[in-house]
Amino acid sequence: MTSPIRTEREGNVLVIVSDNPPVNALGQSVRAGLADAIAQGLADADIEAMVIRCDGQTFFAGADITEFGKTPQGPSLPAVLDQIEASDKPVVAAIHGTALGGGCEVALACHYRIAAPTAKLGLPEVKLGLIPGAAGTQRLPRLVGAKAALPLVALGNPISAREALDIGLLDQLAGGDSLAADALAFARSKIGLPVPRASEGTANHDGVRDPAIFDEFRAKHGRAMRGFDAPNAAISAVRAAGEMPFAEGVKRERELFAGLMTGTQSKAMRHYFFAERAAQKIADLPANAQLLPIAKVGVIGAGTMGGGIAMNFLSAGIPVTILEMQQEALDRGTAVMRRNYEASAKRGRMSDAQVDTAMSLLTPTLEYGDLANCDLVIEAVYENMEVKKQVFARLDEVTKPSAILASNTSYLNIDEIATATQRPGQVLGLHFFSPANVMKLLEVVRGAQTRSDVLATAMKLARKIGKVAAVSGVCPGFIGNRMLSKRQGQANKLIMEGASYWDVDDVLLEFGFPMGPFQMGDLAGLDIGWHRDPTKVTTVREALCAAGRFGQKAGKGFYDYDSARQRTPSDEVRAIIADFAAKAGHAQREVGKDEIRERLLYPMVNEGAMILDEKIAQRAGDIDVVWINGYGWPIHTGGPMFWASTIGLDTVVAGLDKHGLPVSNYLRERAGEGGTFG
Ligand code: 3HC
């Protein structure tokens, strides 16, 4: 097998080049090739400096994650990096694309780092439930200081080349397209000088002088890190960089890394990494499915959902025509969009010029005819089959024959909607999640007749607008809401049997969800879909609306809210629920948190199993992708299906049986075989 590493002599400089597509992951053959190349450069008396660079789309994007959990094959990455750093001939990393994880650690082991202006650098290991494992937690703080290193190591977000230069992670920015030449010149300029080694740096003394920076960091990011093991380990490792000599710090990093690697959280997060990428692939789609051009998008409805949907395309530079029935609603909708963009600009997420550019791509209209030249139209109107069919029939008349027509419905039958058109092959569901400009998930609903090229185009488009897509077949509620309805059903039953609604919410919070079902109701507004007749009360929710308890916006819903939006359970609501339970003849009893958790989550797993069995989802991982990105299922458990496999499908079945809840044949069979969902 030819090595992915080759060397090129440029006079007295040895250029070491990696060519390991797609992302130059640091697998065994790359590590071995690097070790050989460095040895070659050291042994050759005519070589006075070395440059390490990569071909293809990126510098090393990290260790090869597919090797994790397998028997390690030498040389190890830490050993290769020590070899690089020990060289007394200067070694320069020439970075383009993304130097991530082990790739960033390669750069840290080099004596100098130069990068293309578009490059990004980072240590995203925490996103895989890990910390850097090749001395990154020890070299980085010594090079840039503990304070600058902490967010990189513990939060895992990459930084731009410019930011990297500012904190001292880079020595120089290369010209726009002259990285190779600039790196060579840079290497030559360092020949004969003593080499600086990150492991010998002293910038980490900031953490020794001011240990409060660790507590401040924890306090500031506590919420984002809640429930995750890796960020705390990352903070400990950075702290160790200030407290211990390099070799001992590396040992500490190793221990922390090894502990995380064998833990469930990292397994779950690595599962998610591959599940997200697998979800983009559609098994029965011909590889040559042609992509259709989407140069202009139409959105029907300028309400919260339609406006949010439109913003995705505007932000990606795609012009949008947005249609409403009344001028007032149209004006209100576009004003909200501008306000949302301006709020992003205030938070520094975009510039004022970008706000103007995005809004300049928007064409508000009251005329269906203005949608004539759109390549895709997404409907986000009221959830009613007749209304949707009318809209689709009209769209079929006014749009060009090649246009794709999509519905944002969250549970209606796409196949039935498609019958209102003469082009059912060009109809599909694009189910966004609220707030649609923020939430990552896009459920792409494939109708019975949806054409392959239409589906492939939707998947590609999802990526372009920064969404994580998963394909669902047609069934009420698709993957996400179908499973949600099982959880909500149990939540409603539990409070009738005597469980307190705050215990129900707290169980999910403790599990790692950002909020529970009753908090979510309060946030969304309990009056959504309410008939507005306070005398007609048949459900707890209607009773709350009748009492003016519309949710957070009214200062009271299931909970009472103070001015800081802190919630307290309400006696009034307790009484309303007790009254309903008494009228329905439900005996009241103490319900423990274990029962609550089992009854909320196990039926979701059962429903997920049915969704798999019915081939509504292509694979279990797709269901995990939906729940993690659309509903806040904690990623450190891997999503509902992965989580069920980690606790044992037999445990789930036994729990459902114990509570007298339905168990599908598919789940029972899988559990009986001691299996997982694959
Ligand atoms: N190992 C193995 N495979 C990897 C990989 C890695 N580190 N990174 C990406 N891939 C694979 C993907 O699975 C995908 O495979 P597929 O085509 O078969 O689905 C392919 O490479 C392309 O990846 P993307 O679709 O994600 O390509 P993008 O261009 O969208 O993104 C990227 C590129 C930003 C590099 C992104 O792939 C990424 O973030 N990769 C992971 C980076 C990372 O987490 N690095 C740290 C690894 S852990 C580590 O280094 C430990 C060390 O400290 C010891």
Residue with tokens 């049997």, as numbered in its chain: 497
* Residue 674: band (very low, low, confident or very high) from pLDDT cuts 50, 70, 90: confident
Interval between CA 163 and ligand 1 midpoint (Å) = 22
All CATH 1.10.1040.50 domain ranges in the chain, comma separated: 500-584
What pLDDT does residue 20 have? 98
Residue with tokens 């507004």, as numbered in its chain: 525
Helix crossing, 212-225 with 146-155: angle to 10°? Answer: 20
* Phi, psi angle pair for 163, to nearest 5°: -65, -40
Task: Check pLDDT > 80 for residue 72.
Answer: yes
All CATH 3.40.50.720 domain ranges in the chain, comma separated: 297-476
Cα of 574 vs its chain's centroid, Å: 37
| Rounded distance between C-alpha atoms, residue 667 and residue 655, angstroms | 12
* Nearest atom (ligand 1) to Cα of 124: 44
Neighbours of 4 (CB within 10 A): 20
* Residue 675: band (very low, low, confident or very high) from pLDDT cuts 50, 70, 90: confident
Alpha-carbon dihedral of residues 339, 343, 346, 348, nearest 10 degrees?
-130
Cα angle at 28 between 25 and 34, to 5 degrees? Answer: 80
What pLDDT does residue 164 have? 98
Contact status, residue 309 vs residue 380, Cβ threshold 8 Å: yes
Q: State which H helix or E strand residue 377 sits in.
A: strand 376-379
Residue 98 Cβ inside 6 Å of ligand 1? The answer reads yes
Provide the token pair at 4. Answer: 């992915």
Task: Check pLDDT > 90 for residue 430.
Answer: yes
Residue 61 Cβ inside 6 Å of ligand 1? The answer reads yes
All CATH 1.10.1040.10 domain ranges in the chain, comma separated: 593-672
Interval between CA 532 and ligand 1 midpoint (Å) = 51
Q: Which residues pair with 560 in a beta bridge?
A: 556, 568
Q: Among 278-292, 554-568, 648-662, name the one with the lowest average pLDDT.
A: 278-292
**Which residue has a Cα nearest atom 38 of ligand 1?**
61
Q: Tell me, letter by letter, the H, E, C secondary structure of 395-408.
A: HHHHCCCCCEEEEC
Interval between CA 455 and ligand 1 midpoint (Å) = 25
User: Which of 32, 29, 34 is closest to 17 using CA atoms?
Assistant: 34
pLDDT digits (tens, 9 = 90+) for 241-277: 999 999 999 999 999 999 999 999 999 999 999 999 9
Interval between CA 619 and ligand 1 midpoint (Å) = 21
What pLDDT does residue 331 have? 97
Residue from 18, 20, 23 to probe ligand 1 pocket by mutation (most atoms less than 8 Å from CB): 23
| Catalytic residue numbers, as ranges | 105, 125
* Phi, psi angle pair for 470, to nearest 5°: -140, 140
Interval between CA 23 and ligand 1 midpoint (Å) = 6
Provide the pairing of β-strand 567-569 with 559-561: antiparallel
**Which residue has a Cα nearest atom 35 of ligand 1?**
61
Report which DSSP code applies to 425: G
Interval between CA 61 and ligand 1 midpoint (Å) = 6
Provide the token pair at 523. Answer: 């946030």
Q: Which residues pair with 357 in a beta bridge?
A: none
* Residue 494: band (very low, low, confident or very high) from pLDDT cuts 50, 70, 90: very high
Neighbours of 362 (CB within 10 A): 21
Residue 639 Cβ inside 6 Å of ligand 1? The answer reads no
Residue 164 Cβ inside 6 Å of ligand 1? The answer reads no
Residue from 18, 29, 54, 65 to probe ligand 1 pocket by mutation (most atoms less than 8 Å from CB): 65
* Nearest atom (ligand 1) to Cα of 128: 44
Question: What CATH code would you report for 500-584?
Answer: 1.10.1040.50
pLDDT digits (tens, 9 = 90+) for 105-148: 999 999 999 999 999 999 999 999 999 999 999 999 999 999 99
User: Which of 253, 19, 279, 38 is closest to 138 using CA atoms?
Assistant: 253
Residue 126 Cβ inside 6 Å of ligand 1? The answer reads no
All CATH 3.90.226.10 domain ranges in the chain, comma separated: 5-262
Task: Check pLDDT > 80 for residue 568.
Answer: yes
First-to-last alpha carbon distance for the chain, in angstroms, is 32
Residue 77 Cβ inside 6 Å of ligand 1? The answer reads yes
Provide the token pair at 672. Answer: 């009986």
Homologous superfamily, domain 593-672: N-(1-d-carboxylethyl)-l-norvaline Dehydrogenase; domain 2 (1.10.1040.10)
Residue 119 Cβ inside 6 Å of ligand 1? The answer reads no
Provide the token pair at 517. Answer: 């079902």
What amino acid occupies position 627? Answer: W
**Which residue has a Cα nearest atom 54 of ligand 1?**
133
pLDDT digits (tens, 9 = 90+) for 341-364: 999 999 999 999 999 999 999 999
* Residue 289: band (very low, low, confident or very high) from pLDDT cuts 50, 70, 90: confident
Task: Check pLDDT > 90 for residue 300.
Answer: yes
What pLDDT does residue 1 have? 72
Section 477-481 average pLDDT:
98
Domain at 297-476, CATH class: alpha beta
Task: Check pLDDT > 80 for residue 46.
Answer: yes
Beta strands in 42-187 (DSSP E): 49-54, 91-95, 98-100, 112-115, 120-122, 159-160, 172-173
Section 503-525 average pLDDT:
96
Contact status, residue 463 vs residue 606, Cβ threshold 8 Å: no
What pLDDT does residue 670 have? 94
* Nearest atom (ligand 1) to Cα of 274: 13
Task: Check pLDDT > 80 for residue 213.
Answer: yes
| Rounded distance between C-alpha atoms, residue 135 and residue 250, angstroms | 6
What pLDDT does residue 288 have? 83
Q: Which residues pair with 444 in a beta bridge?
A: 430, 471
Domain at 5-262, CATH class: alpha beta
Beta strands in 38-171 (DSSP E): 49-54, 91-95, 98-100, 112-115, 120-122, 159-160
Residue 35 Cβ inside 6 Å of ligand 1? The answer reads no
Percent of the chain predicted with pLDDT > 90? 96
Contact status, residue 241 vs residue 249, Cβ threshold 8 Å: yes
**Which residue has a Cα nearest atom 32 of ligand 1?**
61
What pLDDT does residue 283 have? 87
